[in-house]
């Protein structure tokens, strides 16, 4: 596993949530030459997700969307649209709590309710779980394993969630992205989002450099 670039919050979470460790989750698939996974957290969102889907379609890119269950219930048509477009859906909990501090029953409820929210509206069974903030402890590892989920974090944090200026996001990705990386973006951000503008710059540049975009599951299968 390569060290994480521009985003180490979850490493602090793990320090507080031992005995779980980084080995319990996937952060990248090092060695996948010119192959990266684009991921989006916290959606769906009625306007931001729509715009991002349009951009991805424009460049022929498939991504993995880690959905919050509450949002999937509010906008089920967007979940269906993501699936119809060939994107992958992941579980990002039902209400986005810090699960590193939650007991086992709470973790189970958050995962199960989010899975239900997606299934009831799309009949899609999620197999990937990304804990909010990348924070997890033993209860999350246990609950995910019992449900046949793969825990997925990231290796490049774009920090779009912090309203980082577009040029800094672009510089971060273009400087740090390597084959096998999992890139963290968000399709639901409070206030103005820099993500669509950053994607319009990053996608053609990485494609021009010969990179191929795959879903997280596809990245894992290429190991």
C-beta neighbour count of 84 within 10 angstroms: 9
Give the strand pairing for 182-186 and 156-157: parallel
DSSP state of 20: -
Is 92 one of the annotated active-site residues of the chain?
no
For 77, residues 6+ apart whose C-beta sits below 8 A from its C-beta are: none
CB-count burial class (<10 Å; 0-12, 13-18, 19+) for 29: buried
Cα 108 to chain centroid distance, Å, stands at 19
Of the listed 45, 87, 96, 186, which one is catalytic? 186
CA distance 75 to 140: 26
127 phi, psi to nearest 5 deg: -125, -5
Residue at token pair 């119809």: 84
Among residues 24, 28, 41, 181, the one annotated as catalytic is 41
CA-closest candidate to residue 132, choices 152, 116, 155 = 152
Let me know: does 87 contact 94? Beta carbons within 8 Å. Answer: no
Q: For this structure, is 41 an active site residue?
A: yes
Q: Which residues are known to be catalytic?
A: 41, 186
């Amino acid at each position: 596993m390569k060290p994480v670039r521009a985003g180490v919050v979850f490493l602090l979470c793990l320090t507080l949530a031992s005995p779980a460790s980084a080995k319990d989750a996937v952060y990248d698939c090092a060695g996948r030459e010119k192959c990266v996974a684009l991921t989006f957290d916290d959606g769906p969102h009625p306007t931001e997700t729509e715009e991002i889907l349009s951009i991805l379609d424009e460049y022929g890119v498939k991504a993995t969307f880690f959905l919050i269950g509450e949002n999937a219930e509010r906008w089920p048509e967007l979940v269906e649209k993501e699936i119809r477009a060939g994107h992958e859906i992941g579980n990002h909990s039902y209400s986005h709590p810090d699960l590193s501090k939650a007991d086992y029953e709470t973790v189970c409820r958050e995962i199960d309710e989010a899975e239900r929210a997606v299934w009831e509206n799309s009949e899609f069974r999620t197999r990937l779980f990304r804990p909010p903030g990348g924070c997890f402890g033993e209860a999350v590892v246990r609950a995910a394993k019992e449900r046949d989920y793969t825990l997925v974090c990231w290796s490049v944090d774009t920090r779009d969630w912090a309203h980082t200026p577009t040029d800094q996001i672009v510089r971060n990705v273009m400087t740090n992205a390597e084959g096998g990386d999992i890139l963290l973006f968000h399709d639901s951000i409070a206030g103005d989002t820099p993500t669509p503008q950053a994607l319009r710059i990053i996608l053609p540049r990485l494609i021009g450099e010969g990179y191929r975009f795959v879903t997280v599951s596809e990245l894992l299968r290429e190991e």
